[in-house]
Chains A and B, each alone.
Chain A
Amino acid sequence: MQKRFTRMFLLNKRFIAYPIATGLLIAAMLLGISIGTVSVPVLTILKLIGTEVLHLPSLGKTDPMFTTIVMDIRLPRVILAGLVGASLAIAGAAFQGLLRNPLADPYVLGVSSGASVGAVLVLFFNLSIPFVGMFTLPVMSIAASILTIFLVLFFARQIERSMRVETIILTGIVFSSFLGSLLSLMIALTGEELRQIIGWLLGSVSMRGWEYIGIILPFFIIGAGILLFSTKELNAMSFGEERAQHIGVNVAKRKLWILIGGSILTGAAVAVSGTIGFVGLVIPHLTRLLWGPDHRHLLPLSILLGAAFLIVADLISRTIISPTELPIGVITSLIGAPVFAIILIRRRKESRG
């Protein structure tokens, strides 16, 4: 009886997880579009999405001002926030599984520092790559993040051919510190650019428009695709790499793919929005607490929750001391750090029994 109940409960839990997460995401999107200096009624938003996005026959007249606010400003902003949140969350979930450490995230591997260095270089030297133009910054950022992960892996392999997770983490931390000091150096040498760089480093999804969505979307699809096809392997690898190899996973190859997928996602997210902390750490953790560690569900659910979380965080960042906007990274850290601390304390208490 007991057993049957538990099983039913677990099934139910997983069955309702997707509707709940999707509902949260939709609610967050509607809120994000609706609230601002000018309030847009939810019904109007739905009508506008119906006509402008889905090209349904006109559902009635809407104020052209609303159309501009929703279509040119808020909708792209919400979508961008959602994509960044989703990218960071799924990358975090994958890195945590791969590194078997629920406290790890993309930043540990130095990937985001690499991406930041790439972006700041562009700002510092006022670089502009031919044919890429205004997208120089995102392209450099993604390139730098992928370059960083390969450098980290190269050095890890030099240290130890079998590339154990511990070695990779240590190498990542060393790279993080080194790249962080490079950033500090560039900031110290900067005059007027300082405010722009600091603002970018703290992270923001404002005033980016549809072009940025065009930048992040292909990388999001590629990165998330790679990770979503590695969920079983992630399950196996959370029992240790040797165990995964014994179960039949080609660990070396999969590990490389997962690292590349995670780096693409992190690099793209950093490129369009700067460094936004704690999303990749807190969201997978929360998802795991709610619905269990099975990566086949953890990854898709983290995408949904991560997107919803960052949309809400962005909403708070631009409304809380309106008309001034806070950097979104400040909000995620303000929410994320205490939540994270609570989770840690509860875990500790649980493990003590």
Chain B
Amino acid sequence: MLSVQSVTGGYPGHDVLDDISFDVERGELLGIVGPNGSGKTTIFKMVSGILKAKSGSILLKEKPIASYSAKQLARVLAVLPQHAEQAFPYTVKETVSLGRYAHQSGWFQSWSEHDEAVVQRTMAQTGIASFEDHYVNELSGGERQRVFLAQALAQEPEILLLDEPTNHLDLSYQKELLDLLKRWTREQGLTVISIFHDLNLAGLYCDRLLLLENGQINLHNKPNDVLNEERIQSVYRTKIEKHPHPTVPKPQMLLLPEKQAEDLSDLRITEKWLAHQNDMITLNAPFPLRTMSSGVVGSGTGWYRTFVNRHVDKTYNCTDHKGEMTSFLEAHGIDPTETVGMMTAVRLEDVAYRLIEDDDVSVFVVVTAGVGNAVDASKSREHVYEPLPGTINTWVFVNGTLTDEAFIQSIMTATEAKVKVMHDQQVKDAVTGTTATGTSTDSILIAATQRGEHQAYAGTITTLGKLISEGVYTCTTEALENYRLRLSK
């Protein structure tokens, strides 16, 4: 569709672009990203025929762009400007109708029924039909943007160039506009090239990204390759972190605000923050902790500051246990959005907790254990699903900074320690008669302060791994002993 071949040039006496080459396929959505002054707009001006390239060539549908007349070009390629001048008060419809200019010919340039139909259709598509008689200069920034989008679409182009299309739009219109563009590329084969400032939007919607740096192409590839943490940091010269989008397989680049000085840095999670009530154990952290857990609420990963282990009766049976747990928390004045909540039928007085320290990292472990429904994981096929009381809930609070790997390894290490307790305590699977590995409803929580020493790994013989194994092993053993002791009374 469009082929840019070793283009060099820019403004008189000042070359902005240096040997740029790329191709855009029909129906592709290409995003152009790069820091200010990297040449994004200059590429646009060259492709849209405003600036001439000093050397190199630009082919549009296999024909050099210079061979197109202004009208011919406007029938193939339309541009949505970042801002258009508003010298005189035209109405919305007059403005959109101008987009038909290139399709009208002859001295009298008459307005055909097709022209009218296209204008009406584009106004409907962009949601501006209801104010077609309003003056454009009286509209809000977002509405005006859509008027000019309608004007560009009225050209019935095959390629649409957009210069930061989401600039003046609020969130819902940003999404709406990009969804619409994406759909048109799929359904009507429209080719879209857009400049983006927002790397995340670009990554979410574009098929490919063109990353510019100082007038040269740094990389032209799939968003996941272009949005690489080190690459973006070096091109944009700022601190950025790459994370996966929680629901779609696209990367998100997150800005890291400069850490403000705070006096909380030496605060550690210890017994001090733990509270033991009749029907629940809570830990109220002084600041949110990065958490990975399998609780009833607040499960998965996130930042939470309240941790609740709630006692429920053996007969607790509720179809909407998440909703019930949320209302329980609310009833106790706890904000469910900041809370990881677990349930157990085990008596909470059996709880065991311990702080285990090394030189620069420490771990605070809290365990409640009951083994009424102990299961041997290797023979779990022989079990039928029946929710029985008896649960081992393990909380591990790490006073340190953990990577994602360290979080996962912490879970492994904690689990291995738990299994070893089952083994050493001779806990039997009631169905198979073999040694159990845990219970059928165990939960785990790893929460890190993300302050202090970095812990890249948490395998069993790393500094952190050793603390976790020791903490989980001793606490689980103690909790289990408490549990057995109470039962035998």
Residue in contact with B70 in the complex, picked from A3, A245, A294, CB distance below 8 Å: A245
A293 near B71 with CB under 8 A, answer no
Least CB distance from A126 to B in Å reads 45
B89 near A292 with CB under 8 A, answer yes
For residue A252, which residue of chain B has the nearest CB?
B70
Query: Which A residues lie within 8 Å of B98 (CB)?
Result: 232, 235-236, 239, 247
For residue B80, which residue of chain A has the nearest CB?
A246
Q: A247 vs B157: C-alpha distance in the bound complex, in angstroms? A: 11
B133 near A10 with CB under 8 A, answer yes
Q: Which of B48, B79, B88 has the most C-beta atoms of chain A within 10 angstroms of its own C-beta?
A: B88
Query: Which A residues lie within 8 Å of B84 (CB)?
Result: 239-240, 243
B50 near A242 with CB under 8 A, answer yes
B341 at the interface (CB under 8 A from A): no
Query: Which A residues lie within 8 Å of B86 (CB)?
Result: 239
B107 near A243 with CB under 8 A, answer no
Residue-wise interface mask of B (49-89) relative to A, using a CB-CB cutoff of 8 A (1 in contact, 0 not)? 11000000000000000000111011101110100111111
A336 at the interface (CB under 8 A from B): no
Query: Which A residues lie within 8 Å of B48 (CB)?
Result: 245-246
Residue-wise interface mask of A (231-263) relative to B, using a CB-CB cutoff of 8 A (1 in contact, 0 not)? 010011011101101111111000000000000
B102 at the interface (CB under 8 A from A): yes
B303 at the interface (CB under 8 A from A): no
A318 at the interface (CB under 8 A from B): no
B101 near A249 with CB under 8 A, answer yes
A77 at the interface (CB under 8 A from B): no
B88 near A102 with CB under 8 A, answer yes
Least CB distance from A302 to B in Å reads 14
B90 at the interface (CB under 8 A from A): yes
A248 near B102 with CB under 8 A, answer yes
For residue B12, which residue of chain A has the nearest CB?
A161
B251 at the interface (CB under 8 A from A): no
B69 near A294 with CB under 8 A, answer no
B85 near A246 with CB under 8 A, answer no
Least CB distance from B173 to A in Å reads 21
Least CB distance from A169 to B in Å reads 13
A288 at the interface (CB under 8 A from B): yes
Q: A161 vs B54: C-alpha distance in the bound complex, in angstroms? A: 14
A240 near B85 with CB under 8 A, answer yes
Query: Which B residues lie within 8 Å of A229 (CB)?
Result: 107
Q: A97 vs B90: C-alpha distance in the bound complex, in angstroms? A: 12
Q: Which of A242, A246, A251, A292 has the most C-beta atoms of chain B within 10 angstroms of its own C-beta?
A: A246
Q: Which of A101, A160, A245, A288 has the most C-beta atoms of chain B within 10 angstroms of its own C-beta?
A: A245
A6 at the interface (CB under 8 A from B): yes
A246 near B101 with CB under 8 A, answer no
A7 at the interface (CB under 8 A from B): yes
Q: A294 vs B95: C-alpha distance in the bound complex, in angstroms? A: 10
B101 near A247 with CB under 8 A, answer yes
User: Quick one: given A242-B81, A294-B90, A294-B94, are A248 and B70 in contact (CB under 8 Å)?
Assistant: yes
Least CB distance from A301 to B in Å reads 14
B99 at the interface (CB under 8 A from A): yes
B89 near A248 with CB under 8 A, answer no
Q: A238 vs B94: C-alpha distance in the bound complex, in angstroms? A: 12
Least CB distance from A297 to B in Å reads 11
Query: Which B residues lie within 8 Å of A250 (CB)?
Result: 69-71
For residue A9, which residue of chain B has the nearest CB?
B133
Residue in contact with B99 in the complex, picked from A3, A247, A292, A293, CB distance below 8 Å: A247
Q: A240 vs B163: C-alpha distance in the bound complex, in angstroms? A: 16
Query: Which B residues lie within 8 Å of A232 (CB)?
Result: 98, 101, 104, 109
B81 near A248 with CB under 8 A, answer no
B293 at the interface (CB under 8 A from A): no
User: Quick one: given A248-B101, A250-B70, are A6 and B133 in contact (CB under 8 Å)?
Assistant: yes
B455 at the interface (CB under 8 A from A): no
Query: Which A residues lie within 8 Å of B87 (CB)?
Result: 97, 100-102, 238-239
For residue B104, which residue of chain A has the nearest CB?
A232
A248 near B85 with CB under 8 A, answer no
B155 at the interface (CB under 8 A from A): yes
Q: A6 vs B71: C-alpha distance in the bound complex, in angstroms? A: 33
Query: Which B residues lie within 8 Å of A102 (CB)?
Result: 87-88
For residue A242, which residue of chain B has the nearest CB?
B50
Least CB distance from B389 to A in Å reads 67
Query: Which B residues lie within 8 Å of A249 (CB)?
Result: 70, 101
For residue A10, which residue of chain B has the nearest CB?
B133
| In the complex, the 5 A-B pairs of residues with the closest C-beta atoms, listed nearest first | A248-B74, A248-B102, A293-B88, A100-B87, A240-B85
4 A-B pairs besides A232-B104, A293-B88 with CB distance below 8 A are: A6-B133, A101-B87, A240-B81, A240-B84
A-B contact pairs, 20 of them (CB 8 A): A6-B133, A10-B133, A100-B88, A160-B12, A229-B107, A238-B85, A238-B87, A238-B90, A242-B50, A242-B81, A243-B79, A243-B84, A243-B85, A245-B48, A245-B70, A246-B50, A246-B79, A246-B81, A247-B151, A248-B75
